[in-house]
């Protein structure tokens, strides 16, 4: 048996779901960008890290953080 959706219900559902989906996709895009930045940080030489005032241990800790662990200033609301 197939479910029948009243035609007037479909647009309302799409409108309500649209902003939520957009927020999820935007957060995923930010998470991917942060993950790329962290990988690049982990790949920098000790000299480059010193130039930025970061030591190897701090760079490693940051690079090992999960993609879901976003800094508050990078969150999209």
- The SS3 call for residue 15 is helix
Q: What is the pLDDT of residue 42?
A: 94
53: left (phi over 0), alpha (psi -120 to 50) or beta: left
pLDDT: which is higher, 9 or 65: 65
- The SS3 call for residue 3 is coil
CA distance 9 to 31: 33
Report field, pTM of the whole predicted structure over 0.85? no
pLDDT digit string, tens, across residues 13-52: 555 678 889 999 999 999 999 999 999 999 999 999 999 9
């Amino acid at each position: 048996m197939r479910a029948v959706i009243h035609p007037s219900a479909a647009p309302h559902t799409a409108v309500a779901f649209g902003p939520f989906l957009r927020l999820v996709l935007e957060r995923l895009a930010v998470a991917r960008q942060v993950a790329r930045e962290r990988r690049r940080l982990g790949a920098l030489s000790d000299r480059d890290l010193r130039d930025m005032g970061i030591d190897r241990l701090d760079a490693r800790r940051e690079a090992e953080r999960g993609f879901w662990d976003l800094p508050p200033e990078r969150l999209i609301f």
